[in-house]
Chain A
Amino acid sequence: MRRMMAAIVALVLLALPAAYAVQPDEIMSDPVKESRARGLSRELRCMVCQNQSIDDSDAPLARDLRLLVRERIAAGDSNSQVLDFLVARYGEFVLLKPRFERQTMALWLLAPLLLIGGGLALWLQIRRRARSGADVPAPPLTPEEEARLAALMSDEARSS
């Protein structure tokens, strides 16, 4: 709730003393490699700043990680090698997109299972009900409603 205002409280505490996320001096000369580095940075968490990627964060640790990513890319690592390297060092926590594993299976499978299961169940139920025929009768009227109905009807009878 009150995202921004809260936002902002912590952001200030965490982030403001430093400057920006990616600094001019970090950028790699090869634009292809730089864009790979930016892509990877967006998938990596800055561990001291809670829920930010290292691409967004201003914390010194995020800068170290960004440089590390670029170092690995410069050394010729593939994207998955870079990620493996960082996970080996900092644990799964560093990945903003958790890997598909035994413990995260429920997380990843939730959407497709719910969608398929829910869709199937709904389809069957609607079809069954549609076939089963007549509408269920409306609930009976309460005594007050009966009285009101009677009054209205007699009203009607009088006026017509």
Chain B
Amino acid sequence: MIAEAGHYALVLALALALIQSIVPLIGARLHDAALMNVARSTALAQLLFVGASFIALVTLHVNSDFSVANVYENSHSMKPLIYKITGVWGNHEGSMLLWVSILALFGGLVAAFGNNLPLSLRAHVLAVQAWIASAFYLFILMTSNPFLRIVNPPIEGRDLNPVLQDIGLAVHPPMLYLGYVGFSISFSFAIAALMEGRIDAAWARWVRPWTLVAWIFLTLGIAMGSYWAYYELGWGGWWFWDPVENASLMPWLAGTALLHSALVMEKRNALKVWTILLSILTFSLSLLGTFLVRSGVITSVHAFATDPTRGVFILLILCLFIGGGLSLFAGRATSLKQGGLFAPISREGALVLNNLLLSVACAVVLFGTLYPLAMEALDLKISVGAPFYNLTFAPLFALLLLAVPFGPMMAWKRGDLLGVTQRLLAAGVAGLVAVAIVWGWASGGSTLAPLAIGLGIFVIAGAVTDIVERTGLVRLPFATVLHRARGLPRSAWGTAFAHAGLGVALIGIVCETTWNSEYIATMKQNDVAHVAGYDLKLDGLFQRQGPNFREMIAEFNVSRDGETISVMTPSKRSFTTRGSSTTEAALLTRGASQLYVSLGDATTEGSIAVRIYHKPLVLMIWWGPVLMAFGGMLSLSDRRLRVGAPKPARAKQRLQPAE
């Protein structure tokens, strides 16, 4: 019953989405408020029905109802409850249902909190959302129905892939989807603006918080996925430049550019055409990601559901929305008038530079991902991997980071590059000192590493300088500083945190890749490994029975200078149902650095292959994105940015002269 109810709810959601696709637009044409308001009710009802459908699938998984194919293929009655729930989106069908649920959630949020949007804009936005939703409901119902029954229900399920039985699955995909799908809102706003032929600074003010929300989730989602790969896959890598990872990086790059260009549009009414284009491109790249993962056209470590029918269907959706969006843009963009003027050296100019570098970086990733495909059509097989991106992507980001501290300190309209450079002198000196120290300390090795660390320090110091200047720290008495710090817009704090996060991540990346030490050997009981000043003694090997697996645990006694610090217990788990195994690496955190131990195969003589790494400052790689996301949240909490926020200030605004 539950499966059928879930299925039925999804069909109803499709019907609602179809109504929402058409009726509000007719309303907008006829200037009929009642018809336009239909969008609001249908968006909320859609959320209700998709939510019901999603809960139905979760219930089926929790109840281990193996008469449903999706549950049978991905669950097991002995699986811990948390993995029964997360297993819902650990497969193609369930993850698509999560995708549309989040889409409906965003649609519902616009409907519920978009009261201060002009009526016709809201109608258009929700109609465009409904087009996307309809396409994906159809996709699920026709090619990937999660509620299909099995005629002769088996007694036991085939279990979820063991590597996915991890807390990472609970957090990473939902976060990533909130990011990807969140960009659909800026897409819908862009299409709505093009359809209405009206766009102004207020439009940017409405779009920015939505973009920011999506961006925060995408940032955290990517970072989380990277950390998950790092500890779960067992060889200590955290980014592989894999096509599927690239698919998540591209919307992030475009989305970051969009955040910055929307800022220019909101504050200065400039870059309108570009902002609209970026909104369309960002969501297009999200869709491309969906297609790449599920179509099987790319060779990837992450090959997911490789079913040609699904691939073709998603390709159609892709062409429809990207092609449609861009055609509409091409037709209408010229009618959008460019606004505020600015000199090349100005805050606007800096943000344009940011957009240029991010766009080129995004293009490099896109090209690198798709080029092998194009070459294959010409019968030439080539590979594009990490060494390529290190040579192309990295320099672009270095340039970008070099410019980052200048941006927020530049004045709008016409900036003073020399003045800003002088104000950044202290930050620059801090960077150079860091270069010198690292150079002296790590004599030999890569020459680029000290420079990169100096760059990271410069970016962090630049962010600090901006706050110091704005609050008047150093110059003014402490009480005044405190008062000014409190009065500083949250978005200024947000900018500083997000930019500093970039520097933090860079330092982590450089340290991890340059000074990573590694020890690979076969060890017997009581053997000692010496890695980066730590002594790891293998105390012994043990067997243990878990809920749905057996594991072999190696116990290492970790000491430094003769003092015991901790015990590390990496293990290898064998899952009987799938006949596969996972390696559970053991991690020991010391400050921002980590010791990382993972196990290989045991030999018959009782010894075992081990890999031990010392990864200096590796955690900074993920602290960086967390700082960026925190900066984003601060910015989001800025009253000026929240939709509907201007109300208390209205009395004052009324008296202001027209600009």
Q: Chain A: residues with CB nearer than 8 A to chain B?
A: 1-12, 14, 16-25, 27, 42-43, 45, 49-53, 56, 91-98, 103-104, 106-108, 110-111, 114-115, 118-119, 122-123, 126-127, 129-130, 135-136, 138-139, 142, 152, 156
If A5-B173, A96-B384, A127-B344 touch, does A50 touch B303 (CB 8 Å cutoff)? yes
A1 touches B235 (CB 8 A): no
Instruction: Tell which of B161, B172, B385, B521 touches A96, judged by Cβ atoms closer than 8 Å.
Output: B385
A45 touches B385 (CB 8 A): yes
In residues 328-387 of chain B, which contact A (Cβ within 8 Å)?
337-344, 349, 352-353, 356-357, 359-360, 363-364, 367-368, 371, 375, 378, 380-387
Asked if B247 is at the interface of the complex by the 8 Å CB criterion, the answer is yes
Q: Within the complex, what minimum Cβ distance (angstroms) separates B395 from chain A?
A: 8
Q: Within the complex, what minimum Cβ distance (angstroms) separates B524 from chain A?
A: 12
Asked if B45 is at the interface of the complex by the 8 Å CB criterion, the answer is no
Question: Complex: how many Å from CA A119 to CA B356?
Answer: 7
Other than the known A2-B95, A52-B240, A96-B385, what 10 A-B pairs have Cβ atoms closer than 8 Å? A4-B168, A8-B163, A12-B163, A20-B598, A20-B609, A51-B299, A114-B359, A126-B344, A130-B342, A152-B654
Q: Within the complex, what minimum Cβ distance (angstroms) separates B76 from chain A?
A: 16
Q: Within the complex, what minimum Cβ distance (angstroms) separates B647 from chain A?
A: 14
B520 touches A98 (CB 8 A): no
Question: Complex: how many Å from CA A82 to CA B601?
Answer: 30
If A49-B301, A95-B382, A110-B364 touch, does A2 touch B293 (CB 8 Å cutoff)? yes
B356 touches A50 (CB 8 A): no
In residues 476-513 of chain B, which contact A (Cβ within 8 Å)?
none
If A24-B521, A51-B385 touch, does A19 touch B609 (CB 8 Å cutoff)? yes
| CB 8 Å contact bits of B170-181 with A (1 = contact, 0 = none) | 001100110010
Asked if B266 is at the interface of the complex by the 8 Å CB criterion, the answer is no
What are 10 sample pairs from A and B whose C-beta atoms fall under 8 A apart?
A: A2-B225, A2-B293, A6-B302, A14-B301, A16-B581, A20-B609, A50-B299, A56-B237, A92-B383, A94-B383
Residue of A nearest to B243 (CB): A51
Q: Within the complex, what minimum Cβ distance (angstroms) separates A38 from chain B?
A: 9
B344 touches A130 (CB 8 A): yes
Question: Complex: how many Å from CA A128 to CA B56?
Answer: 60
Instruction: Tell which of B248, B290, B302, B391 touches A10, judged by Cβ atoms closer than 8 Å.
Output: B302
Asked if B90 is at the interface of the complex by the 8 Å CB criterion, the answer is yes
B289 touches A1 (CB 8 A): yes
If A92-B380, A97-B391, A135-B340 touch, does A1 touch B581 (CB 8 Å cutoff)? no
Residue of B nearest to A58 (CB): B235
Residues of A within 8 A of B364 (CB): 110-111
Residues of B within 8 A of A1 (CB): 176, 180, 244, 247-248, 286, 289-290, 292-293
Residue of B nearest to A124 (CB): B344
Asked if B600 is at the interface of the complex by the 8 Å CB criterion, the answer is yes
Q: Which residue among A3, A21, A97, A122 has the maximum number of chain B CB atoms within 10 Å of its CB?
A: A3
Asked if B115 is at the interface of the complex by the 8 Å CB criterion, the answer is no
Question: Complex: how many Å from CA A132 to CA B354?
Answer: 24
B382 touches A92 (CB 8 A): yes
Question: Complex: how many Å from CA A92 to CA B372?
Answer: 11
Residue of A nearest to B523 (CB): A24
A23 touches B385 (CB 8 A): no
Residues of A within 8 A of B387 (CB): 42-43, 96-97
Residues of A within 8 A of B338 (CB): 129, 136
Residue of A nearest to B200 (CB): A139
Q: Within the complex, what minimum Cβ distance (angstroms) separates A5 from chain B?
A: 6
Residue of B nearest to A144 (CB): B118
Q: Which 6 A-B pairs have the closest CB atoms?
A: A96-B385, A19-B600, A97-B387, A6-B302, A6-B304, A8-B163
Residues of B within 8 A of A56 (CB): 235, 237, 240
Question: Complex: how many Å from CA A10 to CA B598?
Answer: 20
Asked if B131 is at the interface of the complex by the 8 Å CB criterion, the answer is no
Q: Within the complex, what minimum Cβ distance (angstroms) separates A21 from chain B?
A: 6
B520 touches A3 (CB 8 A): no
Question: Complex: how many Å from CA A28 to CA B453?
Answer: 32
Q: Which residue among B173, B244, B338 has the maximum number of chain A CB atoms within 10 Å of its CB?
A: B244
B342 touches A98 (CB 8 A): no
Question: Complex: how many Å from CA A110 to CA B360?
Answer: 8
Residues of A within 8 A of B247 (CB): 1, 3
Q: Which residue among B247, B341, B343, B368 has the maximum number of chain A CB atoms within 10 Å of its CB?
A: B341
If A92-B381, A156-B654 touch, does A51 touch B176 (CB 8 Å cutoff)? no
B172 touches A5 (CB 8 A): yes
Residue of A nearest to B291 (CB): A1
Q: Which residue among A8, A19, A53 has the maximum number of chain B CB atoms within 10 Å of its CB?
A: A8
Question: Complex: how many Å from CA A89 to CA B535?
Answer: 43
In residues 421-449 of chain B, which contact A (Cβ within 8 Å)?
none
A8 touches B383 (CB 8 A): no
Residue of A nearest to B227 (CB): A4
If A1-B289, A104-B382, A136-B338 touch, does A130 touch B304 (CB 8 Å cutoff)? no
Q: Within the complex, what minimum Cβ distance (angstroms) separates A35 from chain B?
A: 11
Question: Complex: how many Å from CA A5 to CA B583?
Answer: 16
Asked if B229 is at the interface of the complex by the 8 Å CB criterion, the answer is yes
Asked if B564 is at the interface of the complex by the 8 Å CB criterion, the answer is no
Asked if B315 is at the interface of the complex by the 8 Å CB criterion, the answer is no
Q: Within the complex, what minimum Cβ distance (angstroms) separates B331 from chain A?
A: 18
Instruction: Tell which of B269, B301, B395 touches A52, judged by Cβ atoms closer than 8 Å.
Output: B301
Q: Within the complex, what minimum Cβ distance (angstroms) separates A147 from chain B?
A: 13
In residues 522-538 of chain B, which contact A (Cβ within 8 Å)?
522
Question: Complex: how many Å from CA A156 to CA B169?
Answer: 57
Asked if B543 is at the interface of the complex by the 8 Å CB criterion, the answer is no
Residues of B within 8 A of A139 (CB): 198, 200, 337
Instruction: Tell which of B89, B245, B301, B382 touches A11, judged by Cβ atoms closer than 8 Å.
Output: B301
Question: Complex: how many Å from CA A111 to CA B360?
Answer: 6
Q: Within the complex, what minimum Cβ distance (angstroms) separates B358 from chain A?
A: 11
Question: Complex: how many Å from CA A8 to CA B337?
Answer: 48
